């Protein structure tokens, strides 16, 4: 009986170790699966430093409030592509791809 409990206990732990990474991975799956270059191509013609004066900035056309509240500093159009993507992934986690209503589906 002792061996059965030990075997069952080890199987339970092994199962938990298998499931845990999958559960943790699902939280970031959306961020990892977005083609931000495709979204930027739609939003800004792929120009990561664009400022047209319309109130949206950078390749992913951030509003300043969205940029700041999701970890951006300075202005989006002055930030690198990588920094804009980092902030976009934060937006994705809080607002979903709908934050880019016209172009989000292209990513």
* pLDDT at res. 33: 84
* pLDDT at res. 1: 56
* pLDDT at res. 34: 97
Distance CA 14, CA 60 (A): 42
Low-confidence ranges of the chain (pLDDT < 70): 1-32
**Contact, 66 vs 99, CB < 8 A?**
yes
Distance CA 86, CA 81 (A): 9
Distance CA 38, CA 46 (A): 8
Distance CA 102, CA 97 (A): 10
Task: Classify residue 62 by burial, with Cβ atoms within 10 Å: 0-12, 13-18, 19+.
Answer: buried
* pLDDT at res. 100: 98
Distance CA 76, CA 62 (A): 7
């Amino acid at each position: 009986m002792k061996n059965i409990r030990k075997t069952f206990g080890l199987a339970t732990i092994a199962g938990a170790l298998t499931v845990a990474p999958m559960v943790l991975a699902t939280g970031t799956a959306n961020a990892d699966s977005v083609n931000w270059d495709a979204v930027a191509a739609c939003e800004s013609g792929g120009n990561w430093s664009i400022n047209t004066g319309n109130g949206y900035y950078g390749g992913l056309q951030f509003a300043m409030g969205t940029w700041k509240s999701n970890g951006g500093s300075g202005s989006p159009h002055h930030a690198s592509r990588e920094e804009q993507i980092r902030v976009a992934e934060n937006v994705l986690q809080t607002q979903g791809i709908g934050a880019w209503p016209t172009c989000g589906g292209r990513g």
